[in-house]
Chains A and B, each alone.
Chain A
C-alpha cells in the first residue's frame, strides 16, 4: 500500500459481533442462530428475529448461496473505495435460509451478472481483519 492510497474501512467489533470476526480470521463463515427455533439472523441481534428468544449462538454455515441483488457504485464517497469506482456490491442469499442476506464486494461493473447465480465464500485480508467475501460462479 502506498502512502497516498486511502486506508480501507475496517469493522469495529463489539461484544455481539466479535465471534463473527474471530471465526473469519480462521477462514470460517459463521452466522448467528437461535438455539430455540433454529432461525438464522444476520446482522446479529440480541433477540431472535422470529421467536424472541435470547438464546443465540454462532454456527458455521456452508458459505454457499445465490446472488439476490446488486448495485454498481459510482460515487467516490466511502473511505478507501474512492479509486475503485465503478465497483459492485453484491447481496448474497445463503442457502441455509430464505432472505438470509450478506453483503460482499466485487471489482468492476456488473457485466454478465444475473439474479440467482451461485456464489461461494472466500476470505480477504484487510489490515488486521479477515473479511468473508463472495465470488459469483459463472
Chain B
C-alpha cells in the first residue's frame, strides 16, 4: 500500500533568476526576485506565503557564509521578504541535501502547520580564486588529507570513480555519451548556462583534467543564481492557475555509516538502494513506472551511481545504459532533460527538482517529454548523502 501522503501536496509555482558567472546584483536581491517570480507564477500574492524552506550548505569548506551575500537563509527572507506578516513555519535543513527542505515542506503542509511553502536555493560565486585551500594547518578529519595534498570533494569523487571504472572494467571515454546528452538538453533550455554552447564528444574528451579521471566537463559549472518553488496542499492547488505537480513520495539516505570521505567509495548500492526504495515505496511505484529521471550530477559519475541504485539498470551497467541515445529525449529513459548541473549550472539539485516538476506539467518547452506522467528527482550522491522525490501528473 502506498503512503497516505501520496498526492496530498503539490508544487504550484516556479521562479528562476538568470544563471550567470557574475550577477549584476547581490545574491539576496536575486533570490527575492526568483521567489516573487515563483509566487506570481502560482497566481498567489507574497502575503500568502506563510512557510519557508531552504538548504543552507555551501559547496565547499571555507566558502563565505554572510546571509544575503554568500548564501540566502530563512532569516534573510523573513527579514527582507514581503511575505505573510506572521510566518507560521520554516525549515533550514542540511542533512540529506536539497530535497530534504521540500520534504519537510510536505510534512508541514500535511500537518496544517502552514498553507503555502516557499522553497528556494541561491548560489554565489565569490570574487577571486574559487574553491582553494589556503590554510597552513588542517584540523579535524582534514589533518589526514590536506598534508598529503588531498582536500577537495572532487579529489575524493575522482578516487571513487577510478575504483568504479576499475571494478566494472569501464573507461572514462564512455562517459562522453552522458555528458554530451546533457549538453544537448541544455541547448534546448533557455535558462541553462551553456544554452548557446554545443559540446562534441571530442570537446568532452579533450578538456583539461581536474583530478584524473575527472576532467573539466565531469564537474558541474558554478553559477550565481536562484531557483524557487511554491508548494501547497492538493486541495488548495486545485484552485490555482498552474497544473499542479503532485508529490507522490519522498526518501532520504539513511545509510548507517560514519561521514568520512574514504568510507563511501564502495557502498553506493548499499546506501543508494534503500534510499531510492523509500521513494518508490511511498509512491507505490518502481523504476519501470518512471517516465523521466533527473539524477544529480554535481560530478558526472554520481548520475551513474543513481541510475544503478534507483534500479534503472544493473550493478556496474550504467555506462553501457547511457549509450546509443538510450537516455536522450526520445530514449527509453530521458535523463537530466534540462542539462543537469553539468550544463544548466550548479544549484545543488534545485534544477533537477524544478525540471521534474516541469515535465509532469507540460512546462518543459522544447525538451518536453510528451505525456510524461511521472518524474523522479534525486539529489546528492549515494557515496555521501541525498534525498529525492517522485512527481506525478495526477494525484
Contact = CB atoms under 8 A, between A and B. Distances in A.
Interface stretch (B21-29, B146-154, B236-244, B308-316): B146-154
Given A43-B260, A74-B209, A79 B135 contact: yes
A10 B136 contact: yes
Contact of A75 (B159, B160, B211): B211
A101 B210 contact: no
A72 B209 contact: yes
Contacts of B144: 11, 42-43, 102-103
21 contacts: A9-B146, A9-B147, A11-B144, A14-B139, A43-B143, A43-B144, A45-B258, A49-B258, A68-B163, A70-B162, A71-B212, A72-B158, A75-B211, A77-B129, A84-B149, A89-B150, A89-B159, A103-B144, A103-B150, A105-B148, A110-B212
Interface string A117-138: 0000000001001010100000
A115 B131 CA distance: 29
A13 B147 CA distance: 12
Contacts of A8: 147
Interface residues of B, number: 44
Given A11-B137, A74-B211, A79-B133, A69 B159 contact: yes
Interface residues of A, number: 44
Given A9-B138, A91-B262, A129-B147, 16 more contacts: A7-B136, A9-B133, A10-B137, A11-B139, A11-B143, A69-B159, A71-B159, A72-B209, A74-B212, A77-B131, A77-B133, A79-B133, A79-B134, A81-B149, A103-B150, A131-B147
Interface in B101-156: 129, 131-141, 143-152, 155-156
A12 B139 contact: yes
A27 interface: no
A81 B155 CA distance: 14
Interface of A: 7-14, 17, 41-43, 45, 49, 68-75, 77-79, 81, 84, 86-87, 89, 91, 99, 101-105, 109-110, 115, 126, 129, 131, 133
Q: Which 3 A-B pairs have the closest CB atoms?
A: A71-B158, A11-B143, A72-B212
Nearest to B167: A115
A131 to B, nearest CB: 6
Contacts of A126: 147
